[in-house]
Chains A and B, each alone.
Chain A
């Protein structure tokens, strides 16, 4: 009792406040004097006992390399400097996989050599490099009641979009994707695979004309549906451009048809149509902006009309869906709109390396022999898989052996191109895809593995081939809507109208940079 009283007396309010004040003062003195804080802010972990690489300011990563140049007005990619950690991944892929950076001479002329493939965006671990965001323009068009907004989706987005919504790599979400686009308010949802079939019709016809000598253009013929590859060839091998098929890419073909064929059939003013493309690709953004890509404009005599008004990557579409709280995985499956919405198995495999070639071989066989291709041509194993350069020889009765090659990733492309340049290329037809694995691993695809892994690539590819095997119609010339298009509008492959809307020319970009000297080139070529 006595003790308790004493204690109470000791702890008066005044003495308590005095004690707290004293402690506070002591604390202030200590912190002002600099005790407690590490006095050498620049050094982590004290003096000299840690390896040297850690004795650096906090934001300095253990390994720093460098990065690729990205111009602020690049139509495909943008970079946020604040996120860059100089890890060097973009350099790695641009220089060694795509053989672009370091493969042009210096000093610069007046552009930064870039094939817009966007692989750097796919490899960037901090997402400092991303696609140029075009969602705002699409939102505006969707909200404009005077606009008729049409959208097309590439073959490769339907095996990757699900990954943004927690589904396993390669999950098939074609139907859900259509449903999601309808819910975003698009007036019509078309399938780029429709024009992939159309591309095969045109490209196979062109190939046969080249082989028969009806067309004064050299062999081998190069595919032209990968805009990154096209720009690569324009930069580094402009003298081989006559080999390039004059066919536009499926995206641009559909854009041109949406504002001509579709507009006419549905009686819509083409100037009211806003044409969007959902692509696995950042180079498509560049392609849509190429000045010559206004076939519909030329058709209607209105030069300002663009075939494709906006290109969204798979990632941008996922963002738009998330902004509207649309959960892709919970949606029912819906069908593409008619007229430009039907496809065959041959078109679906466009998204995988070797797919274009396989589809082309099926139809070319039919065109030459007028017979259905044998079963082994419906599973052309030699051009499937992730080998860098693949070759196949197909016996076509009455025409001999058709020799084809397939490559993906521009480092592999260079090897094939060097062979063509030297004149020892035995092939008739070569498929080039800018991105390793083909469109399924394009620069606009979900970052499901950073850097992209073959495991994810193979799952997406497998999904495409499975879909092809499921299809009733697997050859492009069997697409009833394509046949209707020829019957009602274009007449026949490579007709005058087809040339105007579906074919294009190329630009020599060889003077955009200083060519490397022979010595430097020998070092740079793989």
Chain B
């Protein structure tokens, strides 16, 4: 069974406990240039999760919403399918994990990700790709990810993905304030992290034009032709080779015959 986390944007107060917990658990540094909490917060090599402050309009009034961002841990991750060295993999319990020892630094994963999550250590001699690991070690032991355990406002719920979807649906159907959409249920074929909100997701900075088809499917639809193309092209080339060879043979034979005839 695959685990997941449900983020209720309406409950977040922007305290940033999750960010601090992430920094502590993963031994990440704080950088003054790239804040992890607030209006200018963005993901970076050392910011695996950030809490963005978004000022929105609710009716005619302004309102503050805080949005936690991190890897969404797709059910069928494009990054993993793009990784030819198998450095990124989806574990059975949900997290999409990265192994720096296998990474060759091609950064295909960064291009492949529809949510622009993986970041690169551009300033390192031997750089790694960096992103949220959903505390795979903790999840494996049956614990919650570090960020979920410290949320004092009840904005994060950890559990089986199917249960979370059920809970989310109950919540958004039971309260007219919610947008009738669970972000992550279908996006990119479904993600382990799910969001519900009372403000349209695009206003909060979510990418809403993501396909609902699992991304590896796109490349797969073409790449699965590889054997056929390879074999077919081989067959064509072999055919051409055989044909040419035969033609040359015949030509040579005819030449030989002509010479013999002349001699006669």
Give the interface of A toward B (CB within 8 A).
42, 52, 56-61, 64-72, 81-82, 84-86, 88, 91, 101-102, 106-112
**Cα distance A107–B64 in the bound complex, in angstroms:** 9
Q: Mark the stretch among B6-14, B91-99, B226-234 that contacts chain A.
A: B6-14
A72 proximity list for chain B (CB < 8 A)? 38
Contact: B13 with A106, CB < 8 Å? yes
Query: Complex: how many Å from CA A64 to CA B152?
Result: 11
Q: Which residues of A contact B36 (CB under 8 A)?
A: 81
- Is B27 an interface residue, CB under 8 A from the partner? yes
CB neighbours (8 Å) of A109 from chain B are 61, 63-64
Within 8 A of A (CB), among B1-51: 9-11, 13-17, 19-21, 23-27, 30, 36-38
Tell which of A57, A59, A69, A107 touches B15, judged by Cβ atoms closer than 8 Å: A69
Interface assignment of B249: CB less than 8 Å from any CB of chain A: no
* Contact indicator A64/B63 (Cβ below 8 Å): no
Residues of B within 8 A of A57 (CB): 24-27
**CB<8 Å pairs between A and B, sample of 22:** A57-B24, A57-B27, A58-B27, A59-B24, A60-B24, A64-B21, A64-B146, A64-B150, A65-B150, A66-B153, A68-B152, A81-B23, A81-B30, A86-B24, A91-B152, A101-B152, A106-B10, A106-B11, A107-B11, A107-B63, A110-B62, A111-B64
Distance from A109 Cβ to chain B, minimum over Cβ atoms (Å): 6
CB pair B149 A64 closer than 8 Å? yes
| Chain A: CB-nearest residue to B16 | A81
* Cβ of B224 under 8 Å from chain A: no
Contact partner of A69 (CB less than 8 A), chosen from B13, B26, B150, B177, is B13
CB closest chain-B residue, reference A41: B27
Where chain A touches its partner, the secondary structure class is loop
What chain A residues lie within 8 Å of B66 (beta carbons)? 108
B60 an interface residue at 8 Å Cβ cutoff? Answer: no
Least Cβ distance of A83 to chain B in Å? Answer: 10
In the complex, which residue of chain A has the Cβ closest to the Cβ of B13?
A69
Q: Is the CB of A42 within 8 A of B152?
A: no
| Contact A52 B150, beta carbon cutoff 8 Å | no
> Apart from A57-B24, A107-B63, A108-B66, what are 19 other A-B pairs with CB-CB below 8 Å?
A57-B25, A57-B26, A59-B27, A67-B15, A67-B17, A67-B152, A69-B14, A81-B30, A82-B30, A86-B17, A86-B20, A86-B150, A91-B152, A106-B153, A107-B11, A108-B14, A108-B64, A110-B62, A110-B64
Q: Residue B14 contacts which of A66, A81, A84, A112 (CB distance < 8 angstroms)?
A: A112
Would A110 and B27 be within 8 Å (CB), given that A84-B20, A101-B152 are in contact?
no
Distance (whole angstroms) from the CB of A221 to the closest CB of chain B: 34
Residues 41-95 of B contacting A (Cβ, < 8 Å): 55, 61-66
CB within 8 Å: A-B pair count: 89
**Smallest Cβ distance from A186 to chain B, in angstroms?**
35
- The yes or no answer to B198 lying at the interface (CB within 8 A) is yes
B19 lies within 8 A of A60 (CB): no
Evaluate contact between A66 and B151: CB separation under 8 angstroms. Answer: yes
Complex Cα–Cα for A102 and B11 (A): 11
| A107-B27 contact given A52-B141, A81-B19, A86-B21, CB 8 Å threshold | no
Q: A111: nearest residue on chain B (CB-CB)?
A: B64
Docked pose: A60 CA to B62 CA in angstroms: 38
Assess whether B239 is interfacial by the CB under 8 Å rule: no
Task: Compute how far the CA of A86 lies from the CA of B20 in the bound complex, rounded to whole angstroms.
Answer: 7
B159 surroundings in chain A (CB, below 8 A): none
Once A107-B198, A109-B64 are accepted as A-B contacts, the answer to whether A66 and B152 lie under 8 Å apart by CB is yes
B217 adjacent to chain A (CB < 8 Å):
no
Q: How far is the CA of A86 from the CA of B150 in the complex (A)?
A: 8
A135 to B38, CA, bound (A): 26
Given contact pairs A66-B151, A110-B64, A112-B14, A42 touches B24 in the complex (Cβ within 8 A) = no
Residues of B within 8 A of A42 (CB): 137
Q: Which residue of B lies closest to A72 (CB)?
A: B38
Q: Report the minimum CB–CB distance from A59 to chain B (whole Å).
A: 5
The 9 closest A-B CB pairs, nearest first, are: A66-B152, A69-B15, A107-B10, A66-B17, A66-B150, A69-B13, A59-B24, A110-B62, A82-B30
Q: In angstroms, how far is the closest chain A Cβ from the Cβ of B35?
A: 9
Q: What residues on A are CB-neighbors of B146 within 8 Å?
A: 60, 64
Chain A residues with Cβ under 8 A from B55's Cβ?
110
Cα–Cα distance between A111 and B55 once the two chains are bound (Å): 11
**Complex Cα gap A59–B25 (Å):** 7
Residues of B within 8 A of A64 (CB): 21, 24, 146, 149-150
The interface residues of chain B lying within 8 Å CB-to-CB of A66 are 15, 17, 150-153
**Considering the chains assembled together, what is the distance between the CA atoms of A81 and B35 in angstroms?**
10
- List residues of chain B with CB within 8 A of the CB of A85: 24
Across the interface, which residues of B come within 8 angstroms of A112, CB to CB?
13-14, 64
Nearest neighbor of B29 in chain A, beta-carbon distance: A82
Task: Determine the distance from Cα of A111 to Cα of B15 in the docked complex, in whole angstroms.
Answer: 12
CB atoms of B25 and A81 under 8 A apart: no
Q: From A68, which residue of chain B is reached at the shortest CB distance?
A: B15
Contact of B65 among A58, A61, A108, A111 (CB under 8 A): A108
The CA-CA distance from A462 to B38 in the complex, in Å, is 44
Taking each of A64, A66, A84, which has the highest tally of chain B beta carbons within 10 Å of its own beta carbon?
Answer: A66
CA distance A107 to B204 in the complex (A): 14
List the A residue with the shortest CB-CB distance to B38: A72
Min CB distance A372 to B, Å, is: 53
Q: Contact between A108 and B13 (Cβ–Cβ < 8 Å)?
A: yes
Bound CA span A68–B152, Å = 8
B residues less than 8 Å from A108 (CB atoms): 13-14, 63-66
Q: How far is the CB of A183 from chain B (nearest CB, A)?
A: 36
Residues 199 to 258 of chain B near chain A (Cβ within 8 Å): none
**B149 contacts which chain A residues (CB < 8 A)?**
64
What is the distance, in angstroms, from B19's C-beta to the closest C-beta of chain A? Answer: 7
Q: How far is the CA of A89 from the CA of B22 in the complex (A)?
A: 19
Q: Min CB distance, B248 to chain A, in Å?
A: 59
CB-nearest residue of chain A relative to B10? A107
Determine how close the nearest CB of chain B comes to the CB of A51; give it in whole angstroms: 13
Query: Across the interface, which residues of A come within 8 angstroms of B150, CB to CB?
Result: 64-66, 86
Provide the bound-state CA to CA distance between A88 and B20, in Å. 12
The answer to whether residues A56 and B25 also contact, given A86-B150, A110-B62 and a CB cut-off of 8 A, is yes
Most buried by A among B63, B141, B151, B152: B152
CA distance A67 to B23 in the complex (A): 15
